[in-house]
Structure formats: C-alpha cells, structure tokens
C-alpha cells in the first residue's frame, strides 16, 4: 500500500500501535513500538514517517508501507511494517543494512540484463517444545509418538503439533504469507515446516522475518516454545531451510529447457556451477551458527556433498522432479537453515549463481544415484561442505570477490560478519565447558 493508504488504514481500523521491524548485522530481527497517538502528536504531515523516518538510537528507520500488515498475534489492533535503515547524517541507506544489501542484489540482477527477478521459495522448518532444558541423553518425551525416523506426516495423536500448526498457518495467511503446503510434523511429532510460495528476494526475506515472529508468538500463546535452532535434539534430524531458486524474464522461467537434463537450461546448470564453486563460502551466510554443523553431518541423508542430483539425498543441490511444468523448474539449495539472515543468505546465493552464469562454470555431471551405489574411488572424489563454522568463515575470507559485484556486499560488511561470528560465537563456544563434557570427564 502507499504511505497515505497506510496512514488511512491506521485511522480506519483503530490501530493502537505500530511495530517497526528492522534488521542489523548479524540479526535476528528487532523492533520498535510506536503508538498511534505518538504519530498523531508528532509534528508530521501525512506520510512524513515514510520519508523522514523515526529515530532509534543512532539509526533512522524508514518504514516500507508495502510491508504493512495487521499483526496476527497481537491482541490490540497493531500494524506491522518492516523498515529500511538510513544514516541519520547523510540520509543515505546504511551499507550494513541487510535489507539494503538484498535490494542491491535485485538491482544488480536487473542491471546484468540476464533476468528481471530471482524467485526464492524456502521451506522453513522449526521445532516445537513444551519446555527447553539441557539433557545429555537422546530425546525423550512421553505421550503418543511416531518412530523417531518415520514421522514425516503423522496423523494426530502421533502428531503432537497438529492444532498449533493449524493456528500458525491461519496466522501466516492473515499476514499475507502464502504457503504452498500445510504444516506437518516431520520428526517425532515435534517438528513442522511451511513451504513459502515463491517470490522476489527481498519480498521472501521479509516474509521469513515475519514468519519466524508469528511462529514463535503463536506457540507462546499456547504455552509452547518454537525454535528455529538448526539442531536442538541429539538423535534426530535437524531443521533446514531448503531454498528453491529460479530466474525469470518477461514472465518466462529462464531455468526451463524441455531438452535439457531434468528440463534445466544451460543457464540453470551454470547457476548450479556457481553455487557449487562458492558453496564453502556461502555457508558462512547460509548456515552461520556453530550449531548448524551438528546437522550437516554425512549421516541421516544430510546434504553435505558438492554435487547436484534429482534423487541423491546427500546432494547439496537437488532438482525437483515432481512436476514438468515450466513454472515449477528450479534448483534447490539444500544446506541452508533458518538461523541465517535471509537478506544476506539469499543475496549471496544469487551472486554465486550469477557468477556461474557469467563465467559459464560447468557443474560437472549430475550424480543420480546414492553414494553407496558409486564405485569407491568415484565416491571419494566428491567434495563436501565445510564441517564447521570456522571452516566456512575461512572459506569466505579466501573466496568473496563474487560478492562485490554490483557493490552488493562491501568489504566492511564481510569483515564485520567474520569478526562477529569468530569473536561472539566460535570463541565463546570454544572456551566454555560443554554440558556433555560433564558426562565424559567429571569423574576422571
């Protein structure tokens, strides 16, 4: 909606508060609450909030009226909007604002002439718990449950999240977030996901931000805890954010070719080549926590191998085969998870793929069989993803020039990202006693 429409909506619907969401390095989303009375009392003409913004510490927040939705979890009528961050002195976009980085990635794509839009369709998984506390043993809970590895779509009462998932789906729909599939339990009746209907880069990153907010708050209303932590349970699969990507121009899917392998065009294969070439450094943005790599292990069909395939369960890139419709032809980047900052992760994926197209990077032959079916030497030659966040950051230090295309990422952003992750996360985890160490070593 336009600025004046947003202001009129606030008056017509008795909006009492406005939630202004914004994103800073490294994330997650933050928000500022402004009451409708404050807006009325401000010495602003209609729409000034969308041009002059609202000051927050040393930040200037400019709400995007196109993101305005009625908050589906607040009891009082509340409008939610996502903001851009502007330097209060220069009035220019902050180069470290992740949302600005996403917008620059979309602008760069258009400037190349290759495509008009890059569509993303993430499958965002999460866990639901009654409570959370450390337990060294593998997961244990009482009540009806499916077998640990066989609960992909259980019926109630085996699915312990059915009613909550239904409420989450209704709340996301009210917020304008469209899911292509219903929420369902996938592991032990505690895990769920929604497949977001594809949209443009910034649009879907905005929706992921709002989606996580809705999931956590709807769960809280039912005295549950929802977490997007990649690997909260030992002995169970983790949560991922498998992300489908395609390029479009003149409403034509540029990844579709009826004569190509898996109906993929040459540019789609080059895009895959770019993703595979830069996969190690991409992981610094797409799986950016120490916990992410407890999920990315070569068991439980984790997508850790730098190959592409229609059927190989360990492939980092999978090609969906359930439809021959040209609109449904995309490549799916498997290793990402919801701990990522979606604005940065999606931008990095796009730039890696475009680098593949610009340089015609050959992804090699697909591997349409499981690794245990390959000759031993062939299996050994397959490279795999980094085994830790430290390895991913090391890779990003060596391989980041593709991120500078179109001035999308800056050296300051990359350096700050690496510094934050090393000092605030890797080092803090490394120097703290791990709870499991008490089981191993307390009685030595």
Looking at the fold, whether 84 and 108 belong to one and the same domain comes out as no
**pLDDT tier at 420, thresholds 50, 70, 90:** very high
Between CA 216 and CA 192 the distance in angstroms is 12
**pLDDT higher for 136 or 220?**
220
Looking at the fold, whether 79 and 192 belong to one and the same domain comes out as no
- Lowest-confidence pick of 86-95, 132-141, 172-181, 270-279: 132-141
- In this predicted structure, the answer to whether residue 385 has a pLDDT above a threshold of 70 is yes
Between CA 424 and CA 76 the distance in angstroms is 37
Average pLDDT, integer, range 250-279: 96
Between CA 433 and CA 410 the distance in angstroms is 36
- 98 domain-assigned: no
Looking at the fold, whether 289 and 396 belong to one and the same domain comes out as yes
Q: Which one of 90, 121, 141 terminates a domain? A: 90
Q: Which one of 90, 120, 138 terminates a domain? A: 90
Average pLDDT, integer, range 176-183: 72
| Burial label, 374 (beta-carbon count in 10 A; 0-12, 13-18, 19+) | middle
Give the CATH number, domain containing residue 227.
3.30.590.10
* pTM of this structure: 0.91
Average pLDDT, integer, range 84-91: 89
Looking at the fold, whether 109 and 229 belong to one and the same domain comes out as yes
Looking at the fold, whether 73 and 110 belong to one and the same domain comes out as no
DSSP strand E in 115-218: where?
117-129, 191-195, 199-200
- 443 domain-assigned: no
**pLDDT for residue 43:** 45
- 346 domain-assigned: yes
Average pLDDT, integer, range 355-359: 98
- 169 domain-assigned: yes
Give strand pairing partners of 59: 56
Looking at the fold, whether 165 and 75 belong to one and the same domain comes out as no
Give the CATH number, domain containing residue 48.
3.10.20.70
Tally of domains within the chain: 2
Quick: pLDDT tens for 209-260. 999 999 999 999 999 999 999 999 887 889 999 999 999 999 999 999 999 9
**pLDDT tier at 189, thresholds 50, 70, 90:** low
Tokens of 171: 């709340």
Looking at the fold, whether 356 and 426 belong to one and the same domain comes out as yes
By C-alpha distance, which of 221, 260, 250, 28 is closest to 117? 250
- φ, ψ dihedrals at 4, nearest 5°: -65, -30
**pLDDT for residue 142:** 39
Report the residue count for the chain.
444
Average pLDDT, integer, range 419-430: 96
Looking at the fold, whether 167 and 63 belong to one and the same domain comes out as no
Looking at the fold, whether 144 and 24 belong to one and the same domain comes out as no
**pLDDT for residue 214:** 95
**pLDDT higher for 155 or 374?**
374
- 176 domain-assigned: yes
Between CA 78 and CA 175 the distance in angstroms is 12
- 288 domain-assigned: yes
Mean pLDDT highest for which of 158-167, 391-400, 430-439? Answer: 391-400
**pLDDT for residue 326:** 79
Q: Which one of 69, 90, 111 terminates a domain? A: 90
Percent of the chain's residues with pLDDT above 70:
88
Between CA 391 and CA 66 the distance in angstroms is 39
Percent of the chain's residues with pLDDT above 90:
64
Quick: pLDDT tens for 301-356. 799 999 999 989 899 999 988 777 778 889 999 999 999 999 999 999 999 999 99
Give strand pairing partners of 264: 256
**pLDDT for residue 146:** 43
With beta carbons less than 8 A apart as the criterion, state whether 17 and 411 touch. no
Average pLDDT, integer, range 25-48: 71
Looking at the fold, whether 78 and 208 belong to one and the same domain comes out as no
Peptide bond into 157 cis (omega under 30): yes
- 50 domain-assigned: yes
**pLDDT for residue 32:** 87
Looking at the fold, whether 127 and 216 belong to one and the same domain comes out as yes
Average pLDDT over all residues of the chain? 88
- φ, ψ dihedrals at 386, nearest 5°: -55, 150
- In this predicted structure, the answer to whether residue 188 has a pLDDT above a threshold of 70 is no
**pLDDT for residue 191:** 85
- 310 domain-assigned: yes
Looking at the fold, whether 59 and 205 belong to one and the same domain comes out as no
Average pLDDT, integer, range 6-35: 88
**pLDDT higher for 152 or 179?**
179
Tokens of 352: 């890696």
Between CA 203 and CA 75 the distance in angstroms is 26
Q: Which domain holds residue 338?
A: 103-438
- Cα-Cα end-to-end distance for the chain: 65
**pLDDT for residue 144:** 38
**pLDDT tier at 273, thresholds 50, 70, 90:** very high
């Amino acid at each position: 909606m336009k600025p004046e429409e947003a202001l009129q909506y606030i008056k017509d619907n008795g909006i009492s508060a406005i939630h202004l969401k914004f994103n800073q390095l490294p994330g997650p989303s933050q928000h500022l609450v402004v009451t409708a009375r404050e807006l009325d009392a401000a010495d602003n003409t209609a729409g000034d909030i969308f041009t002059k913004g609202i000051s927050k510490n040393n930040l200037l927040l400019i709400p995007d009226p196109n993101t305005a939705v009625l908050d589906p979890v607040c009891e009082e009528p509340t409008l939610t909007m996502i903001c851009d961050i502007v330097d209060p002195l220069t009035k220019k976009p902050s180069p470290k604002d992740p949302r600005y980085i996403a917008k620059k990635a979309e602008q760069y794509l258009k400037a190349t002439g290759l495509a008009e839009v890059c569509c993303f369709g993430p499958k965002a998984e999460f866990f639901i718990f009654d409570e959370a506390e450390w337990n060294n043993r593998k997961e244990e809970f009482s009540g009806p449950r499916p077998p640990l590895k066989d609960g992909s779509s259980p019926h109630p009462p085996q699915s312990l999240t059915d009613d909550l998932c239904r409420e989450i789906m209704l709340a996301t729909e009210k917020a304008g977030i469209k899911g292509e599939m219903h929420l369902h339990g996938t592991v032990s009746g505690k895990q769920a996901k929604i497949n977001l209907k594809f949209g443009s880069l910034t649009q879907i990153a905005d929706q992921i931000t709002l989606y996580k907010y809705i999931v956590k708050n709807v769960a809280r209303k039912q005295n549950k805890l929802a977490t997007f932590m990649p690997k909260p349970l030992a002995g169970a699969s983790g949560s991922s954010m498998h992300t489908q990507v395609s390029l479009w121009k003149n409403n034509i899917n540029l990844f579709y070719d009826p004569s190509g392998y898996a109906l993929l065009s040459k540019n789609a294969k080059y895009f895959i080549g770019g993703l595979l070439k830069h996969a190690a450094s991409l992981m610094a943005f797409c799986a950016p926590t120490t916990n992410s790599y407890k999920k990315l292990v070569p068991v439980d069909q984790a997508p850790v191998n730098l190959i592409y395939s229609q059927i190989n369960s360990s492939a980092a890139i999978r090609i969906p085969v359930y439809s021959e419709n040209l609109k449904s032809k995309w490549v799916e980047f498997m290793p990402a998870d919801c701990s990522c900052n979606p604005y940065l992760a999606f931008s990095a994926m796009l730039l890696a793929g475009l680098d593949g197209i610009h340089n015609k990077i050959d992804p090699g032959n697909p591997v349409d069989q499981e690794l245990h079916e390959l000759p031993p030497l062939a299996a050994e030659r397959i490279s795999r993803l980094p085994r830790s966040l430290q390895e991913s950051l090391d890779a990003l230090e060596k391989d980041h020039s593709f991120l500078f295309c179109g001035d999308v990422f800056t050296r300051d952003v990359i350096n700050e990202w690496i510094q934050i992750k090393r000092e605030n996360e890797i080092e803090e985890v490394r120097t703290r006693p791990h709870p499991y160490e008490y089981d191993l070593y307390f009685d030595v």
